[in-house]
Amino acid sequence: MLRVVVVHPDLLGTYGDGGNALVLVARARWRGVEAELVQAPSHVKLPEGDIYCLGGGEDGPQERSARILREEGSLKASLDDRGVLLAVCAGFQIAGNEFPGVGGESVGGLGVFDAVTTRGVGKRAVGEVLVEPSDELPIPLLTGFENHRGVTQLGSNTRALGTVVRGTGNSRESCSEGAVSGRAIGTYLHGPVLARNPALADLLLEWALGDRGVLGPIDDSEVEKLRDERIASFRRRKTGLFGCRFSNA
Amino acid sequence: MTRASGRFESFPLRARVAVRTAWVLNAVSRRLGRGEGTVVGGSVALMIDGNLLRELTADREVALVSGTNGKTTTTKLLVAALQRGSSVPVVTNSTGSNMPAGHLGALIDADSGAPAVLEVDEGYLKEVLDASRAKVVVLLNLSRDQLDRTNEVRMMAERWRQALRSAARRDGSGETSVVVANADDPLVVYAAEGSANVVWVAGGQRWRADSTGCPKCGGRVVYNETPEVTGDSFDPPWACACGFVSPEPEAWIVEDTTSRGASVVFKGGQELKMELLLPGRFNYSNAMMALLGARVFGVSPSSAASAMAEIGEVAGRYSTRVIGGVSTRCLLAKNPAGWTELLELVSGAGGPIVIGINAKVADGQDPSWLWDVEFESLKGRTVVATGERCWDLAVRLRYAGVDHQVCPDPVEALRAGRELELRRDACVEFIGNYTVFHDVVADSGGSNC
Ligand SMILES: [Zn+2]
């Protein structure tokens, strides 16, 4: 039984990111892998899981969630053992070393990623994003929608999830998006990210299953249509597929 | 245009110039066939005189209606109710222009002294309240909506709270705004509780994902699914351990299980039966909020109820019309809270369902909220996905286990819906978000069936 845990949906559930867990469970079941989805609200002890999903949220709830997870310690312990993590937006920031709290002061994160987030100046990064994944990840272009003010700097111990083709990602300067560390992935992409990028969902499932299951092919024709349409939307704007430094759209 | 011009002579020069410019622009816009043109005139007038909203509301009583969902409908219901108590036409802003430019555009052409009911975008409540010194403010609900371009919902609640607090302080004369506020929505209660003069109403809010976190302490709001309604003491439907708790409402809705309609029950025990043409429990809640707003203007609840009962559609919403040869009921939903209500509404009807999703600026450019909607409840129904973002919807429906077809063109989708349905007499339920709804309904030419 594969268990997918949605961590603190009451605090980190603002941008449809709960959909990531629905995608993981469905894609496991369609391959005949028994899977269950567990919602883990912040007032109950975090249950054991194979894959943990952290979503986006507002500043206050984000800080509260981080405090609870740090005090409990079980998420970090599970990830150090064999757990898999998908952390999105506010969740990505929580999984780093530190992020800005409600008052702008630095709040300690879980340290899953060697990453520090600070509050960006100027406009929020809002819009469609295209990311070329890092070479070691066997997945195609990532598509999603970002909506954040935070600027994330990766330390030397954590690689980026990919390079920004269009959009902002971790910061306007770095051209990097998200983070990969062991079997944890962090990203700013909503959409939800796994709905738009089934290969990333399958990668997380493979990490979690190890030799417990084989993921056969399934019909992703509708998702392919969605991906084609989203990637083509950049071309429709006649801006072409420039590098991120041209992309302050 | 001349009927009301005399009263502007007392205005400062800048205001007079602003009003006259807006008149000319509105007249030109109408002649060019660009509809009412009130936003164009209002925008320019606002540029010329930033205080014009204050001037134009000084000689009239004003009601404001705001909230994430239901504000267009509630505004229309309140206009109908207030018309019963007014000898001159009640002023109101036209659909889709619920920011100050739209308010000005409507007020510039209005009769002197005519009462005004203004639908107000959530983000402009403070500005419009400060300028209009409204007699009544109706606050319906707050939930996530278009997160790519608006503030996060808690921030909105905080801004409302500040606006209503300062409104309460401003008037030492005892003339504070009466706030008719939804006691079932913790974010609305947070916004309104500091106001001096609140009428709490149990207006319902089935969508709770934005208010499980207490707006006061960050703790958990616990909902009591079966509050005791018959006892003498009030059993709050929600509460937080910090003491933040649902206030006792002065009125609530009891559905009539044996016949059409529903009753408004007042705390004193009186009941008022309502039979609306508008469908859905949420519209009875909207009507109750309007009814209590109208009461402040001296319109009796029974008189308000009979006026509201005549409203059959709101800017095409809830209308049944023939579109591309297909009998269609037109419904609008643009966020998870609105969808939660409409899913229940269409669960009662058996026809095919055509869902249209666009993601233009007016819709919000990030449709990931589709994953917050429980589309799983449509399993077994005939469903067609349409609109510019039909593939986002198709993927969502696939993961929800809902069989569906995809048809990017909305009118073609309506035809496909009819073809797929076995019972050929069934009316197609079309549910679109803002711009796709507008495209489909505007193109239909209003041919009701
Ligand atoms: Zn509390």
Structure tokens at B105: 């555009």
The one-letter code for the residue type at A181 is S
Structure tokens at A33: 């892998």
Mean pLDDT of chain B: 89
ipTM for the predicted complex: 0.95
DSSP single-letter state for residue B335:
S
Q: How far is the CA of B240 from the centre of ligand 1 (A)?
A: 5
Fold of B56-308: UDP-N-acetylmuramoyl-L-alanine:D-glutamate ligase (3.40.1190)
Q: What is the C-alpha separation between A182 and A82, in angstroms, rounded?
A: 10
What pLDDT is recorded for position A65?
Answer: 96
Residue B375 and residue B400 in contact, taking contact as beta carbons nearer than 8 Å: yes
Q: What is the C-alpha separation between A76 and B233, in angstroms, rounded?
A: 47
- Split at pLDDT 50, 70, 90, the class of A72 is very high
**CA separation (Å) from B144 to A127, B141, B263?**
18, 10, 29
- Split at pLDDT 50, 70, 90, the class of A26 is very high
Could you identify the residue written with the tokens 């506020």?
Answer: B181
Residue B157 burial (C-beta neighbours within 10 Å; 0-12, 13-18, 19+): buried
Residues of chain B with CATH 3.40.1190.10: 56-308
Q: Mean per-residue pLDDT for B52-60?
A: 91
Q: What is the C-alpha separation between B143 and A89, in angstroms, rounded?
A: 20
Contact B395 A223 (CB under 8 A): yes
Per-residue pLDDT reduced to its tens digit, B347-400: 877 889 999 999 999 999 999 999 999 999 999 999 999 999 999 999 999 999
Q: What is the C-alpha separation between B391 and A10, in angstroms, rounded?
A: 28
- Beta bridge partners of residue B139, listed in sequence order: B66, B181
- Split at pLDDT 50, 70, 90, the class of B94 is confident
Residue B406 and residue B392 in contact, taking contact as beta carbons nearer than 8 Å: no
Query: What's the gap in Å between the CA of B370 and the closest CA on chain A?
Result: 7
Concatenated DSSP letters of chain A: -EEEEEE-TTTS-TTSTTHHHHHHHHHHHHTT--EEEEEE-TTSPPPP-SEEEE----HHHHHHHHHHHHHH-HHHHHHHHT-EEEEETHHHHHHSSEEE-TTS-EEE---SSSEEEEEPSSS-EEEEEEEEE-TTS----EEEEEEE-EEEEE-TT-B-SEEEEES-TT-TTT-EE-EEETTEEEE--BTTHHHH-HHHHHHHHHHHHGGG--------HHHHHHHHHHHHHHHHTT--S--GGG---
Concatenated DSSP letters of B296-316: HTT--HHHHHHHHTT---BTT
DSSP single-letter state for residue B220:
B
Question: Considering only CB atoms, which chain B residues are within 8 Å of A147?
Answer: 147-148, 366
Residue B117 and residue B160 in contact, taking contact as beta carbons nearer than 8 Å: no
Q: Mean per-residue pLDDT for A179-195?
A: 97
Structure tokens at A242: 């420039």
> Exposure string (b/e) for B245-259, b if CB count within 10 Å is 16 or more?
bbbebbbbbeeeeee
Question: Considering only CB atoms, which chain B residues are within 8 Å of A194?
Answer: none
Which of residues B97 and A186 earns the better pLDDT score? A186
Q: How many CB atoms are located within 10 Å of the residue B310 CB? A: 9
- Beta bridge partners of residue B138, listed in sequence order: B65, B180
Residues 94-153 of B with CB under 8 A from A: 144, 147-149, 152
Chain A contact present for B23, CB below 8 A: no
Residue A237, pLDDT above cutoff 80: no
Q: What is the C-alpha separation between A177 and A237, in angstroms, rounded?
A: 22
H/E stretch holding B64: strand B62-66
Residue A212 and residue A84 in contact, taking contact as beta carbons nearer than 8 Å: no
Weakest-pLDDT range from B2-11, B80-89, B228-237: B2-11
What pLDDT is recorded for position B42?
Answer: 76
Chain B contact present for A224, CB below 8 A: no
Q: A2-236 domain in CATH 3.40.50.880?
A: yes
Q: What is the C-alpha separation between B113 and A26, in angstroms, rounded?
A: 61
Chain B contact present for A190, CB below 8 A: yes
Residues of chain B with CATH 3.90.190.20: 320-443
Query: What's the gap in Å between the CA of A30 and the closest CA on chain B?
Result: 10
Residue ranges of domains in chain A:
2-236
Weakest-pLDDT range from B163-177, B213-227, B294-308, B432-446: B163-177
Residue A141, pLDDT above cutoff 60: yes
What are the two backbone dihedrals, phi and then psi, of residue B404, each rounded to the nearest 5 degrees?
-160, 165
- Phi-psi category of residue B280: left, alpha or beta, with phi > 0 → left and psi -120 to 50 → alpha: left
Reduced to 3 states (helix: H, G, I; strand: E, B; else coil), residue B189 is helix
Q: What is the C-alpha separation between B308 and B320, in angstroms, rounded?
A: 19
CATH of B320-443, one of 3.20.20.70, 3.40.50.1450, 3.40.50.2300, 3.90.190.20: 3.90.190.20
Per-residue pLDDT reduced to its tens digit, B312-357: 999 999 999 999 999 999 999 999 999 999 999 998 778 899 999 9
Q: What 3 state SS string does B195-207 have?
A: CCCEEEECCCCCC
Contact A145 B209 (CB under 8 A): no
Contact A61 B406 (CB under 8 A): no
Q: How far is the CA of B245 from the centre of ligand 1 (A)?
A: 8
- Split at pLDDT 50, 70, 90, the class of A13 is confident
Pairing of strands B136-139, B116-119: unpaired
Residue B423, pLDDT above cutoff 90: no
Task: Provide CB contacts within 8 A for B333, sequence distance 6+.
Answer: B339, B341, B342, B431, B432, B433
Q: Mean per-residue pLDDT for B401-420?
A: 96
Chain B contact present for A229, CB below 8 A: yes
Chain B contact present for A207, CB below 8 A: no
C-alpha radius of gyration, chain A, whole number: 17
Q: What is the C-alpha separation between B414 and B420, in angstroms, rounded?
A: 10
- CA B229 to chain CA mean position, Å: 27
DSSP single-letter state for residue B250:
S
What pLDDT is recorded for position B6?
Answer: 61
Q: Which of A13, A17, A195 sits opposite B395 (nearest CB)?
A: A195
Of the candidates A156, A161, A212, which has an alpha carbon nearest to the alpha carbon of residue A189? Answer: A161
Residue B81 and residue B26 in contact, taking contact as beta carbons nearer than 8 Å: no
Residue B355 and residue B383 in contact, taking contact as beta carbons nearer than 8 Å: yes
